[in-house]
Structure 1
């Protein structure tokens, strides 16, 4: 049975560290085999994570009328996502059993970049949780640093020029989703989130003690990441798989919450700047044949096709689909 390794990434903070090369190899092994890893040594304290988790609980404790007053719209993919609103982007399957709160890279309403890409803008922060903005943005900033450490290691491991990946993340389209999954009964079908691959470059998540995240193995089975307290789960998204010519693996995963408890999660999705075109930086592996992706167009299409009455068309990037 394939397992998801736990790696202390502290040596990656200094490329002169005696364990730097060994740690890069460990990260590469995980990312080329299963596409998931648990990491420790991030410098992000458990207290920081606990504050965010408490904030997320408070966000979803807001009364329903106030949630709808701050809900997502077609024009602004920010704010509350109602329970059961989203189904798989290809139109198949039942609605996912979660409610969410969507946050994006925060820029002022008059920021010049909004003239180039209207997907940028200010977030809607829940008025009923006044500390939410500072708590989440502090955590977000810390994960930005972790993501850049991992991207630097992948540059080394793939033999790419220094900063070739990291340069794509100035004014990024990085985003977070706060999530609440109510418990599913043992005989209830459907998912908290249906099996999917992440359509970003890199995802970082602090695992909820309740559990429920499952990762698909190459033989079609499902395993649960074993992440130690204070650690994080990281997975490769479709963009890094594409950049690497198929070497790094974007792996299907799902959430099923049959714990009998409420589950709260707050994944961080690392996404390049809007004008970046993702294409293989290395010769693609045999059989790997995927079109390049324009990040701004990709983001707009992912959002558009999330709406129940919208469908993918021939301009929609082929990202997020399941393996055969």
Structure 2
């Protein structure tokens, strides 16, 4: 598949909808073909998306000193990610051209699950943008519903038992990254975000009007999703590729912002509960040979190896890095 299809997923919300089966097949064709799809019919109002976008702009407009006070640490991967702070996990040493703000599944300080996994906890919310928490968590809850519907469609399409995927997302490690990409000069090399595959199960993003997201086709070229207003771009991550035994495709993509404008983005990354072990639920396709991964360990290693002085260990899972 050399193009990214647009699919109205409204029929997925009703199992008895006359187009339910047809829509499941459309989702499967996209996810086994190019691994990306544009979706409409989510029920998420455009006004909510624009409120989130305004919050993201406001968060990055906070003065630099205040943002640094909420910077991520090795002990708490939540909060502000300064411009050029991280280099790719492939060890290339070329910092990506973005600043970010990391949010995780919101859990109270005294939540029992925190005794089992240190990755859970409350987020840092900038006091300068008091509406951010309510607006973003409302949006997040709506995306949880969309992700659940898509996972249900994939269960049906892969002929898996009902809830065999969805049950893994109760008390999940789902997270969001708020992103700001300044414009890159035409002669400026490097990327907003380097070519990579997502390490989660499912990514959902409201495209920024500025553009800049590019997806690699099976033929090796790069294309831009043609997503209609009010739609979302969805892609398969490594976890679903592994669960499906290689049937669902985790596809390389990148961001390059040469628009001359500021670009803002806020992708949602669906990640299972910390104690879920992801392994093929179907016989792997010929040539697909990847070890099982523990979601809590995988997630912890992603955060740890983002620091430039940390290296992968023998038990570090593959983290979406592309190899020549």
Fold equivalence (TM over 0.5): yes
Matched, 1:199 2:199: yes
- Counterpart of 2:38 in structure 1 is 38
Matched-pair contact (CA < 8 Å) for 2:2–2:219: no
How much does 1:13 deviate?
0.5
| Moved beyond 6 Å, runs of 4+ | none
Q: How many residues align?
A: 324
- Counterpart of 2:290 in structure 1 is 290
1:280-307, CA deviations, whole angstroms, 9 ceiling, x for partnerless residues?
0000000000000000000000000001
Matched-pair contact (CA < 8 Å) for 2:56–2:178: yes
- Counterpart of 1:257 in structure 2 is 257
How much does 1:220 deviate?
1.1
Q: TM-score, normalised by structure 1?
A: 0.99
- Counterpart of 1:158 in structure 2 is 158
1:199-218, CA deviations, whole angstroms, 9 ceiling, x for partnerless residues?
00000000000000000011
How much does 1:93 deviate?
4.1
How much does 1:123 deviate?
0.3
How much does 1:319 deviate?
2.9
How much does 1:313 deviate?
1.6
Change in CA separation of 1:77 and 1:259 when aligned onto 2, cut-off 3 Å:
same
For 2:219 and 2:313, the matched residues in 1 are separated by 31
| 5+ long unaligned stretches in structure 1 | none
- Counterpart of 2:29 in structure 1 is 29
Matched, 1:8 2:11: no
For 1:194 and 1:321, the matched residues in 2 are separated by 10
For 1:88 and 1:319, the matched residues in 2 are separated by 10
Q: TM-score, normalised by structure 2?
A: 0.99
- Counterpart of 1:182 in structure 2 is 182
- Counterpart of 2:300 in structure 1 is 300
For 2:22 and 2:34, the matched residues in 1 are separated by 18
For 2:223 and 2:259, the matched residues in 1 are separated by 16
Matched-pair contact (CA < 8 Å) for 2:207–2:232: yes
- Counterpart of 2:102 in structure 1 is 102
In structure 2, the residue corresponding to 1:233 is in which secondary structure?
strand
Matched, 1:52 2:60: no
- Counterpart of 1:314 in structure 2 is 314
How much does 1:323 deviate?
5.9
How much does 1:196 deviate?
0.2
How much does 1:223 deviate?
0.4
| 5+ long unaligned stretches in structure 2 | none
How much does 1:91 deviate?
1.4
